Amino acid sequence: MSSLAGVPSLVAAQEAAEHAAEGGAVNLGELIMHHLADSHEIELPFFLGVLHLPTGWNVNLGPLGVVDFAPTKHVVFMLLAAVLCLLVFIPLAGKARRLEPGKAPAGVGGGMEAMILYFRDEIVRKNISHGADAYVPYILTLFFFILFMNLLGLVPWGSSATGNVSVTMALALCTLALVELSGMQALGVKGYLHTIFFVPEGMPALGAAPITLLLAPVEFVGKLTKPFALTIRLFANMMAGHVLIFALGGLVVTMGAIGAGTVAGGIGATALATFVMVLEVVVAFLQAGIFALLTSVFVGLIRHAH
């Protein structure tokens, strides 16, 4: 663990040292930003150099202007996470299909299955009571996709796409779409409109109308704040962890640069970075779980709004 954990901080430290050797002042903040921000370059493992991604996949979207759809670093790591999901779960499905009826399941797949069944029983079924099973594939895909993206940021030379606000916003928008469409499907158009235009019961129309009009913007904004909170929560958690790890790695170099470097200080900073790294593994699972949990909570809420 410690050797793995140490590597990203070492990468940061090495680059800072290179900067220092070139005679430039060590700008740690700039360095961290460079590592967190999306770019068209990917640092290859084992110091194999830098992979330059293509640019200029320009598409003219008319009124929206010209947009460059060329894959960036975060797109690559997102695709990697998606491929990892496929590589883990499709063989698992094959194994599940081949299992003979009278035989007990065995092997590593059981661990994944335990997580899958936990999500089905404790997250989806508990929050969306009837018709819950239709949402299980969505929630499972969401959880494992986010989890793999989170974990890829902890691998040496890795980068987590969930540390990018565009990615988390896209996922939150998918959740928004799922929630609102589930609401329409469960409540019907009239029932769904009532979730925006709240009509208090047992009041004369003259009294109810102002309340409805007054509450409509509140209800509408309420719908948008949920995905907004999801976006910021996941993005901020992932980014903060990376900033912390890089900052602790950079601390060694900074201390050296200002002449305050000691062996004990270096070891202390590295140990602290290792600890934060372990914490980040927990956070990676936790935030993926929270995203999936809240998505099912929102779906459950709107389906049972009366």
Mark residues 218-257: x for contact with another protein by CB under 8 A, - for none: ---------------------x------------------
Which lies closer to another protein via its Cβ, residue 89 or residue 157?
Answer: 89
Region of 81-89, 150-158, 197-205, 257-265 interacting with another protein (CB under 8 A): 81-89
Q: How far is the CB of 186 from another protein (least distance, A)?
A: 8
Tell me how far, at minimum, the Cβ of 7 lies from another protein, in Å: 23
CB 294 within 8 A of CB 230: yes
Q: Work out whether 276 is an interface residue with another protein (CB under 8 A).
A: no
Letter for the amino acid at 144?
A: F
86 belongs to the binding site for another protein (CB under 8 A): yes
Tokens 């410690």 label which residue? 2
Determine if 166 is a binding residue for another protein (CB under 8 A): yes
Please tell me whether residue 64 binds another protein under the rule CB under 8 A. yes
Among 53, 174, 196, 255, binds another protein (CB under 8 A): 174
Tell me the CA distances in angstroms from 84 to 162, 174, 275, one per residue in order: 15, 21, 26
User: Which of 72-80, 246-254, 262-270, 284-292 is the region at the interface with another protein (rule: CB under 8 A)?
Assistant: 72-80
Tell the smallest beta-carbon distance from residue 207 to another protein (Å): 34
Residue whose CB is less far from another protein, 193 or 267: 193
**Is position 65 an interface residue for another protein (rule: CB under 8 A)?**
yes
Give residue for tokens 């994944």: 112
Residue 41: phi and psi, rounded to 5, are -125, 145
Pick the piece of the chain touching another protein (CB under 8 A) from 85-93, 151-159, 253-261, 271-279. Answer: 85-93
Place of tokens 């958690």: 237
Calpha distance 166→40 (Å, rounded): 16
Q: If binding is defined by CB under 8 A, does position 85 make contact with another protein?
A: yes
Q: Which of 105, 200, 207, 222 touches another protein by CB under 8 A?
A: 105
Q: Does 20 bind another protein (CB under 8 A)?
A: no
